[in-house]
Amino acid sequence: MADTFSSMQNQYKTILKKYIEDKNEVVLYQAQQFSKKILENQVSPEETVSFHLEAIDEFFPKLPEGVRDSFELLIEVMMGFGMAYREHQSLRDKQKELEAEINVAASMQQTLLPANIPEVESLDIGVISMPATKMSGDYYHFIKDENDCIGLAIADIIGKGIPAALCMSMIKYAMDSLPEQRLQPGALLENLNRVVERNVAANMFITMMYGSYDPRIHQFYYSGAGHEPGFYYNYAEDKFEELYAKGLALGIKRETKFREYHKRVEPGDFIVLLSDGVTECRTVDGFIEREEIISLIRKYQHMTAQEIVDKVFYELERLQHFQLKDDFSLIILRRKV
């Protein structure tokens, strides 16, 4: 280390001497490159100033005492600066480590979401889920059984960041372990609620809407756990209505019952499930109304389900100047005409 310090000191003297004798851009470039070596070798600011002072003493031995004293003061100032700079560097390194960990967690979180939308001959399904930040608190889920029955869920984990991601992983594996194709929505939420209540902190809870669609009889069965109401579109009457399912959020009370609802889905009818990041979209004028969501869906309802959700997302993102204020998830399940 001493050899490195001495070598750096001699290099600085050489550069300074060249500059004093012949001020030119080549020497200035060498000085810029030397500053990189200072950082690489962790030479402190006060040590750099001492390089300069010793070189000046050597080159100008008759330097006025006051000038020399001013450098001594500068060294003291640089000591304080150096300590603050090193602390800043340490905090920045820790921040980089945290960002790297968050990036890994965000990538892992994406693997928890379904890789593909299930295909059923009589159905058209579209889904979009976009996080407001790197980590999302929204979750959606699909499953198809041997009879082409579709189970689908949309959930909002109250909380952000890594805790929400960990909670999402628990929900995903809990749902994977349940025999969904044999459980009705109400019973499934009751089972899931017990898992959440036992394993999630008291200050966290989860809202969810879960539905099961049977294409053999075109019935949609659904239950809700404190989740944002969706919409149901009646094609024959060209009318939207609220798809509401009353129920406590998951994790609040262990022995909770969830009421089950059902609807007959006719050709052209479709179901809209969403997170509150859709209905509580914030613009400069405040929150948008649910009727505005319906108007957007109407605007694009001649398109495929996937095109509808993509277009609605783009419109609402644009209203927020492409800066989402909350996680955004939207699912449309439509019976083909």
pLDDT tens digits along 310-324 = 999 999 988 888 888
Give the pLDDT band (50/70/90) at residue 161: low
* pLDDT tens column, 255-281: 899 999 999 999 999 999 999 888 877
Q: What is the pLDDT of residue 1?
A: 59
Average pLDDT of the chain? 86
Q: What is the pLDDT of residue 262?
A: 94
Q: What is the pLDDT of residue 160?
A: 65
List every span in the chain annotated with CATH 1.10.1240.30. Answer: 2-104
Which CATH number does the domain 2-104 belong to among 1.10.8.60, 1.10.10.10, 1.20.1250.20, 1.10.1240.30? 1.10.1240.30
What would the mean pLDDT of 225-250 be, rounded to a whole number? 94
Topology of domain 113-335, CATH: Phosphatase 2c; domain 1 (3.60.40)
What would the mean pLDDT of 3-15 be, rounded to a whole number? 85
Nearest CA to 324 among 129, 158, 187? Answer: 129
Give the pLDDT band (50/70/90) at residue 51: confident
At residue 195, φ and ψ (nearest 5 deg) are -65, -45
Name which of 147-156, 224-233, 273-282 the model is least confident about. Answer: 273-282
Q: What is the pLDDT of residue 304?
A: 96
CA angle 178, 150, 317 (to 5 degrees): 100
The helix/strand/coil state of 221 is: strand
Flag whether pLDDT at 13 surpasses 70.
Answer: yes
The 10 Å Cβ neighbour count of residue 212 is 24
Flag whether pLDDT at 181 surpasses 60.
Answer: no
* pLDDT tens column, 117-146: 889 999 999 999 988 877 778 889 998 888
Q: What is the pLDDT of residue 113?
A: 78
* pLDDT tens column, 56-112: 888 888 878 888 788 778 777 877 777 787 788 888 888 888 777 777 767 776 777
List every span in the chain annotated with CATH 3.60.40.10. Answer: 113-335
At residue 265, φ and ψ (nearest 5 deg) are -100, 115
Q: What is the pLDDT of residue 272?
A: 97
State how far the Cα of 149 lies from the Cα of 212, in Å rounded to an integer: 7
Flag whether pLDDT at 283 surpasses 70.
Answer: no
State which of 2-6, 30-34, 191-195, 302-306 shows the largest mean pLDDT.
302-306
What would the mean pLDDT of 48-60 be, rounded to a whole number? 85
Give the pLDDT band (50/70/90) at residue 239: very high
Q: What is the pLDDT of residue 2?
A: 65
HEC profile of 40-96: HCCCCHHHHHHHHHHHHHHHCCCCCHHHHHHHHHHHHHHHHHHHHHHHHHHHHHHHH
User: What is the distance of C-alpha 147 from the center of its chain?
Assistant: 36
What would the mean pLDDT of 284-300 be, rounded to a whole number? 86
Structure tokens at 282: 């914030």
In sign, the C-alpha dihedral spanning 307, 337, 121, 141 is: positive
